Structure 1
């Protein structure tokens, strides 16, 4: 693209003449970054101006014929420091003499250096010498005076500057008054020798012009004329090599900055077009050739920094409107203008030109912002940076003093941008609508086109919110999302309503599906209002947002069909809607039209937008146009729900048909459950997308949704069991058939857990809160919770049925192995006899644990445990079993307890230790114990009975007992007996007390001892002491006791039993002490109520059954003799026989001894 047409051919030729003239008459040494070869500059400008060789030669010839300019050195004497103090006071009154020495050639004389130190007035004519002001009494003078010095030849000209101390005639008294040190006194003597009024030399600076750059600014050292005082300080000088009376047409007819601006515009245009990466990435950096040309022209024309910045701004801002480049260049220029702005520097035509550039760039920039979606697309790299740079330039420009002073009245940038964004958004919407207009005029195609349009709108708003809003908010305090949303929302509402009016109520399913997609897009668009500032929302919308309904609604939507349950009908009554069940879909679509108003309210925009009101077009007089958009789709709602239900049902049935009932991955359920869960997840998404605002209709949808989900769940249970049955018929392996049942129960359990999550996932609590005041809470309970509880109960029942079927398959094996255990040889060890049973259970339970979920596995274990206890109880037989038999059963019971508990991974101990288990464990522990152990338990039992007895109906005996550890001796004092029963015919008794240590097998060497017989006494006083030698450890044995038996002495027959008492040896005083208690008097008395043995005892019965055990038989015989003399009678419900409680299982348990037996003949009842 060639921009040379912006200048006419004549203008371009004159400008080319100007640049050639500038190169030809360049002055100064080239800067390091500039081009020093003039031929390179000629070639560059020839390309930049598009001149061919002939045109270049012609204009170059014209330039050579032009008169040369007057060369000038613009010298500025700024300041000096460290100069000599020539006055008595130690200061000087410095001034400078400066001028240019012109010589025809460079002298080669040996004293050239000496001549360079000559004073100015000796080298330069007086009329060419310039003088600065005198700065009084200072060693650091500041002048800042500028002088224009003309010269002819830069090669031979030199700049000379002399610095002098001005000498004014003063009286001797005044000088002595200023005297401060010895140096001042020497100065007085020196002044006395020189002529009055003669100035003192302070130093000089000599610079050859050919050594200067076009512009120099540096400190120079002041040189002495002699070697005295070589350090004379420094002087700060600035030099600029310029032209006067340039002969070019442009220089003679146009202002310097105008010519410079035109040259800048031409060179920048060339630089942009030559940029390989494209104009938009050009950052304003010029090539060294362009920089050199512009630098030479500016210095030769002596343009100030302000006019250079102004020229650059005018050129760049004009070029930006034809060639877009990085606007950061403009930001730099406008910042420089603001920094150097002084209105008085400009002539009226310059002010007008600058004001016009401001207005032009502002108009152009706002037009770009209006079309920012097209001009700055996000698909193009650095679009955001370009837009942000433009906004910063416009904002900075409108803030400048120059803009406010020249552009009156000053336009309001935020207001202009707001209006531009609104109109640009409208234009963009209509352009998108036209672009997406369907070729075929049908309802389906129109709906699809609307969905695509809404998709573009939503995507645009997301970009406005996430990307563009930050730019406009940061630079202009504008919320572009709010502006775009309010404009697009109104346009969308109007356009969608116009299209939906064409839809017939008897729409087809494809039409309804396309409308659902449109509804979803509208829902997403409407929900974006939550990102609007609060003042954009109506009070109702703010209240809804605080309640959190629109953002907190969560759950599944299971598409419904015609309801068949009473709960659905109760829900219809609860919301006040009466309908027949066969017309319920129609009611869902149209029976609740009374809520809200149909959308279409007019949004009233704000008429203006100042900086403080930058967020324009706020709908202050009504809701958003999309507030009730859901009412536009009420006729399509039943079709949406029916379609969703049908799809879910078909997917579930197809998933069951394809299910091979094998574990899915690392899970224990199969693929059909995964597919059903996916269907429910899709339903949840559908419900969230639907998010029906009307609470009454939303509740009706929820009720029917729940009913249909329950139906699908129960249907799944039926079909999955049928599928398992069908697969089992083709399987010959019984284990694989059991595996199918495991998968079935896991699937149903997974479905049950899924249903239990519905209240949380569907957020029933929020729904109930919305329905508060509309429907009675009890009716909500009936419509939702009871329906769900009923379905979950059905699923629980299904799980139990399948688990029971699995348990039944194992119960036969368990019963068979326990039967084999019972019938095994008595010579076999119990640990060996239970190995087959434990291997069977280990194999089966490990398999079931791997294939069942934990909950179902524990339910199966509970059933198997009850069955196992029943079989073990039955295995004991109707009679008292043998010791070996009971040992096998007891070993099996304890091993099974460990197996079913599985170190906490199985059933908890609370479940295992049921009443049946405890009874069976106690019985088997007794039956399997050795005879001596039973005897010990018998005495332990009698000791406990003794401790629990408080009645003295048979009298009491009082003793004192003490154990002496050092002697291992037990001393017993029998004190008395009281309230004995009269057993003789005379109404009295002849009592004596027999003392024995029991059990006898623990004290075989200790003989029984007896007291004296007291004639005719019912309250005898014995007061006798007995000693027994026994070790202390024997006293601590189980059942160890002192048996005190009170008899009535009978001369002719056997002694009659008055009663017996049991004193536990473990409670002996002194037994647990290391030292003996010396005084028996300190031992407390012990009063023991006398008791009689009961006619029957389970331990004695067990011992009696052991016919081959002589020790057991002897003990039973002794106790039976005592029992014959007992006055205790047998009563029903006593502990005469050990029976197991009846189980609810199919196996009935029988008492150990069968039915209860009557006392033997002759036994004391």
Structure 2
């Protein structure tokens, strides 16, 4: 028994002969225990197994006290106390490892004693008592003598030692998993992590302070040059991401056992990393500003510093995207769900994601500040080249007139594409595209009323520029290309370059569509029948009736009649305007009148071809008023594909259409026609439509 008490020193597991001796000693004890004489000669001894357990406990305690004495600190400084605790715990971990790997198998097989459980629980109780006292003193000292923002060498050393101790105790507590299930509950060291809660929080505060200083130094020493075409950021960006990686690694090794505490610490990690990323972007922004980039004076040049600033910020911003996986957002959500339910888990996850997205947005805003200035500084040159494009001689081809602008853009974009990360290049490409669109729009808006060649050139230029910025799918996508300014330019230039006849046709194309969109009967309805008879090459129209027409006379009624006109007039030059008879004092007139227009079937297929029914109110002493209009497209009129319609109107379904009112010309084809003061046809059509709108006013 005396030899067993000192088995750690006498029978080390790395000495095979010593282990053989220990094996024989245990076998002897087992044989003695099996002898009937043992219980007779030593009647007051406990069973042999209990005696062995007692000796293991005593030997473990003696060994622990010896190790504690050896590792005892020589001074009372926090650092030495912590280091002594670390050494003690590490010695115990080594001993427990030996117990589990070597001694336990031997004791179990020979004397049926769970050596590991006996030794572990004895050491666990002893270690807890000393650690509890020591950590209480350390935390009291830290709170009394050190501010949360302290950054001196002692703080760093103490924080490092505390972390070492935490990891050592974490390792010791992990051996608990090798205990039998019945022995795992209610161990003293189950709450070991609570001792480190204030220290860990303090460490994160210190880590943030240290990270900021490291970032400042990294930016200060950063070399403003592109190292290689494949490496478009500089050393400060790498240093920043390494700094954040160390904070993540600390949290990973921490592996905090309490779900609520783990969530608290991961939010601190996120605060440290996200605030560090924001601070880095701010430092790079300030450095670029100090170099004069944001000054209004001076010619714009694409510099390495501009490109590196954007790339560095983007590189650090990208590093944040790995945080959900590296920090285990999903695991934290599941852990919080067990404590606070599904809603609590989702809220915790959302909080962490919001922190990351907020930092992303702030860094993106810094990039946007720089990108906007790129566009602003390029704007004067772009304005100059657009001016030369717009006012080149009429004889000059668009390809030639736009050449200076294309060369300027191409040269700058090539340089930017070579020097910038794709994400940053896309942002600048988008900004320059918007600048080009604004200059084209300003040129267009300031020169309305020009003749078609002016707009044809701008329209062709827009096509060429779109191809440049789209770059066969390698540049901006369709969504980025088709901004509001682009759509305005495309629509306006398409109208402006059209001939007057084409604009009038476009007007008559749009009106039936506008009519279809009407769902409320505001001005009544008109019922008609229309068909085409190939036998006499004529369009047959029957005006049947009106219903719920507006009351335009003081007596509460109207005197309605209908004008029938084939439009546009340049498609039907030989067709006169017809009209029905006047129906007195009624809002629901019955006309039942037919009209015949001799036209070729090909005329019905012309762009914009339609029948315009204008419902008028007859006035004897004043000008007739307009009640409303109906536009009926001719392209699909019944009978065009038949040789004849012998049954006439009986073969045609009645068509009841809502009336709409003429509107004052604001934009679209009418707006363009208004500006063509040099074109009599345009002015006549515009004035006619304007007069109709005024009659409705």
Counterpart position of 1:680: 244
The structure where helix makes up a greater share of residues is 2
CA distance in 2, matches of 1:692, 1:1120: 78
Equivalences for residues 687-706 of structure 1 within 5 A: none
The question of 1:624 aligning with 2:269 is answered no
CA distance in 2, matches of 1:624, 1:434: 22
Structure 1 residues 708-758: Cα deviation after superposition (integer angstroms, max 9, x where no partner): 7676555434433343456679x9964324213323542564587689999
Structure 1: which 5+ runs fail to align? 1-362, 540-622, 983-987, 1050-1054, 1132-1164
Residue 801 of structure 1: how far off its partner (Å): 2.4
Equivalences for residues 981-992 of structure 1 within 5 A: none
Query: In 1, are the aligned partners of 2:546 and 2:590 still within 8 Å (CA)?
Result: yes
Counterpart position of 2:377: 809
Counterpart position of 1:489: 124
CA distance in 2, matches of 1:468, 1:904: 70
Equivalences for residues 309-458 of structure 1 within 5 A: 370-371=7-8, 374-377=11-14, 418=53, 422=57, 425=60, 429=64, 448=83, 450-458=85-93
Change (3 A) 1:975 1:708: closer
Counterpart position of 2:669: 1099
Query: In 1, are the aligned partners of 2:563 and 2:613 still within 8 Å (CA)?
Result: yes
Farther-moved stretch of structure 1 (638-647 vs 714-723) = 638-647
CA distance in 2, matches of 1:810, 1:477: 86
Change (3 A) 1:722 1:859: same
Residue 880 of structure 1: how far off its partner (Å): 1.6
Alignment equivalent of 2:504, drawn from 928, 935, 956: 935
Residue 859 of structure 1: how far off its partner (Å): 5.0
CA distance in 1, matches of 2:507, 2:394: 26
The question of 1:535 aligning with 2:106 is answered no
Change (3 A) 1:823 1:533: farther
Query: In 1, are the aligned partners of 2:617 and 2:627 still within 8 Å (CA)?
Result: yes
The question of 1:888 aligning with 2:457 is answered yes
Residue 822 of structure 1: how far off its partner (Å): 1.8
The question of 1:1083 aligning with 2:652 is answered yes
Counterpart position of 1:521: 168
Counterpart position of 1:657: 220
Counterpart position of 2:621: none
SS in 1 for 2:530: strand
Counterpart position of 1:245: none
Structure 1 residues 547-589: Cα deviation after superposition (integer angstroms, max 9, x where no partner): xxxxxxxxxxxxxxxxxxxxxxxxxxxxxxxxxxxxxxxxxxx
Counterpart position of 2:694: 1129
Residue 924 of structure 1: how far off its partner (Å): 1.5
Residue 920 of structure 1: how far off its partner (Å): 3.2
Query: In 2, are the aligned partners of 1:954 and 1:1089 still within 8 Å (CA)?
Result: yes
CA distance in 1, matches of 2:339, 2:524: 78
Structure 1 residues 275-312: Cα deviation after superposition (integer angstroms, max 9, x where no partner): xxxxxxxxxxxxxxxxxxxxxxxxxxxxxxxxxxxxxx
Structure 1 residues 185-239: Cα deviation after superposition (integer angstroms, max 9, x where no partner): xxxxxxxxxxxxxxxxxxxxxxxxxxxxxxxxxxxxxxxxxxxxxxxxxxxxxxx
The question of 1:1064 aligning with 2:633 is answered yes
Counterpart position of 2:600: 1029
SS in 1 for 2:635: helix
Change (3 A) 1:525 1:661: farther
Query: In 2, are the aligned partners of 1:512 and 1:636 still within 8 Å (CA)?
Result: no
Counterpart position of 2:532: 962
Change (3 A) 1:404 1:1066: same
Structure 1 residues 526-567: Cα deviation after superposition (integer angstroms, max 9, x where no partner): 45435544433445xxxxxxxxxxxxxxxxxxxxxxxxxxxx
Query: In 2, are the aligned partners of 1:935 and 1:999 still within 8 Å (CA)?
Result: no
Structure 1 residues 380-438: Cα deviation after superposition (integer angstroms, max 9, x where no partner): 8xx69x97999799899979xx9968887699786676556556655665676677688
Farther-moved stretch of structure 1 (865-874 vs 499-508) = 499-508
SS in 2 for 1:926: helix
Query: In 1, are the aligned partners of 2:628 and 2:659 still within 8 Å (CA)?
Result: yes
Query: In 1, are the aligned partners of 2:565 and 2:612 still within 8 Å (CA)?
Result: yes
Equivalences for residues 812-831 of structure 1 within 5 A: 812-830=380-398
CA distance in 2, matches of 1:1129, 1:525: 93
CA distance in 1, matches of 2:386, 2:111: 90
SS in 2 for 1:880: coil
Query: In 1, are the aligned partners of 2:575 and 2:598 still within 8 Å (CA)?
Result: no
Residue 875 of structure 1: how far off its partner (Å): 0.9
Structure 1 residues 678-700: Cα deviation after superposition (integer angstroms, max 9, x where no partner): 33333345456678899999999
Change (3 A) 1:436 1:1068: same
Equivalences for residues 611-650 of structure 1 within 5 A: 623-624=187-188, 627=191, 631=195, 644=207, 647-650=210-213
The question of 1:512 aligning with 2:158 is answered yes
SS in 2 for 1:826: coil
Residue 1046 of structure 1: how far off its partner (Å): 9.8
Residue 486 of structure 1: how far off its partner (Å): 1.9
Structure 1 residues 962-1009: Cα deviation after superposition (integer angstroms, max 9, x where no partner): 354xx6945425567879999xxxxx99999776574635x67xx436
CA distance in 2, matches of 1:1069, 1:388: 112
CA distance in 2, matches of 1:1105, 1:663: 54
Structure 2: which 5+ runs fail to align? 41-45, 147-152, 294-298, 553-557, 619-623
CA distance in 2, matches of 1:1012, 1:794: 69
Structure 1 residues 1027-1054: Cα deviation after superposition (integer angstroms, max 9, x where no partner): 53334xx5344212346789999xxxxx
Instruction: Note the aligned Cα RMSD (angstroms).
Output: 6.3
Query: Greater RCO between the two (CA within 8 Å, min separation 6)?
Result: 2
SS in 2 for 1:922: helix
Query: In 2, are the aligned partners of 1:448 and 1:514 still within 8 Å (CA)?
Result: no
Change (3 A) 1:996 1:801: closer
SS in 2 for 1:1129: helix
CA distance in 2, matches of 1:908, 1:895: 16
Counterpart position of 2:149: none
Provide the TM-score with structure 1 as the length reference: 0.44
CA distance in 2, matches of 1:1127, 1:867: 41
SS in 2 for 1:1067: coil
SS in 1 for 2:694: coil
Structure 1 residues 868-891: Cα deviation after superposition (integer angstroms, max 9, x where no partner): 433222111243233222223333
CA distance in 2, matches of 1:922, 1:754: 44
Change (3 A) 1:518 1:927: same
SS in 1 for 2:599: strand
CA distance in 1, matches of 2:307, 2:172: 51
Query: In 1, are the aligned partners of 2:259 and 2:332 still within 8 Å (CA)?
Result: no
Residue 926 of structure 1: how far off its partner (Å): 0.5
SS in 1 for 2:188: coil
Residue 922 of structure 1: how far off its partner (Å): 1.9
Counterpart position of 1:1000: 570
Counterpart position of 1:800: 368
CA distance in 1, matches of 2:317, 2:240: 13
CA distance in 1, matches of 2:131, 2:282: 46
Query: In 2, are the aligned partners of 1:421 and 1:484 still within 8 Å (CA)?
Result: yes
CA distance in 1, matches of 2:126, 2:524: 109
Counterpart position of 1:1041: 610
SS in 2 for 1:1066: coil
Alignment equivalent of 2:448, drawn from 864, 872, 879: 879
